[in-house]
Amino acid sequence: MINVRNLEFSYPKHLVFSGINIQLEEGKIYGLLGENGVGKTTLLKILAGLLKSSNGECTVDGVNPFKRTPEYLQNIFFVPEDFPIPSSSIKRFVDSIAPFYPNYNATLLNDLLKDFDLDSSKEFTKLSMGQAKKAFISVALSLQTKFLLMDEPSNGLDIPSKAELRKVISRASTENNTIIISTHQVKDLENLIDPIIILDSEGILLNASIEEITNKLYFSVETTADKDALYAEPTLAGVSEVKPNNENIESKVDLEILFDAAITNKEKFIELFK
């Protein structure tokens, strides 16, 4: 269980975020959304133990991540957006780190690499950026850590690989692990991430499951924008909009519209999902 209370992070002359309160449960794939600069990567780095918060409390299974204890680190893995490219083959890289992770699954790695059409004997440096990213993600998933943090995992992947990415992440997800994916490419990860967290520099705008969202909001494409719409955007098919689901009608969440609605109606969203 991840517990974040009144978390604040600032650089010497710049406050990134404050007042972050959130609880994350096991067995879910969280989608972490937010505008540029609100601190999505920073939050992931704090959880990974790479950064120390300026104020507030952040515990993962009761442990302060920044202590970077071996017991904590063997339960967490972080895939940064700008990920490190090891100067070795995929196999040698895995062989060097896998002994530190008790739940590492070699068969799973081989399956994942096969799904991504990659050969473990290939040198990382000889792979394209997209291939190297797929290899790194495969390694991360095969370590089977309790917490897996991914920053923009779909960036740089081609269209078939994005579909494959959704498949391999959902396959690696179990009821015991927690995956947090920070992304701007919400379409790439639609149908995968649930619950959705929308981060703002002054707190969490939304932390709700898809079911909760559709219970409270109604997404539709209309010919003209409704006056009650929280957000409306013209598209080729008409006007995509989201409004309060007063009539309890089922609809499919459009993550981009949801995100835009949240950042243009911050207070309403906080109130709605209290």
Partner 1 sequence: MHTMNNTFSLHRFGLLFKKNFSANSRRVLKPLIIISAIYVILKVLLCFLGYVSMTTFISMMNIYIAFALLVLMTPFLFYSKFNDKRYGIIEAMLPASHLEKFFSKFVMLVVLFPVLFILIIIGLDYIVSAFFGQPGSISVMHDFITEHHDIIEQLTILNSYFFYFIVSLFALQALFLLGVHFFKSHRVSKSIISVLILSQLISILAAPFTIKMLPEIMEKSKIVGTANPTNLMDMINNITPTWIFNYQLIVAIFEILIAWFLIYRIIKTHKYY
Using CB under 8 A as the criterion, which residues of the chain lie in contact with partner 1 when the complex forms?
11, 45, 48-52, 68-74, 76-78, 80, 82-84, 86, 96-97, 99-101
The distance of Cα 251 from the centroid of its chain, to the nearest Å, equals 23
Q: Which of 179, 193, 187 is nearest to 137 (CA)?
A: 179
Judged by CB, which is closer to partner 1: 150, or 208? 150
Judged by CB, which is closer to partner 1: 124, or 219? 124
Judged by CB, which is closer to partner 1: 81, or 190? 81
Whole-number minimum distance, CB 23 to partner 1, in Å? 23
Report yes or no: 3 and 59 within 8 Å, Cβ to Cβ: yes
Whole-number minimum distance, CB 32 to partner 1, in Å? 18
Non-local CB neighbours of 181 within 8 Å, separated by 6+ positions: 29, 30, 31, 32, 150, 153, 169, 189, 192, 193
Helical H segments across the chain, by residue range: 40-48, 70-73, 90-97, 106-115, 129-142, 159-172, 210-216, 255-264, 266-272
Judged by CB, which is closer to partner 1: 67, or 187? 67
Whole-number minimum distance, CB 75 to partner 1, in Å? 8
Whole-number minimum distance, CB 253 to partner 1, in Å? 33
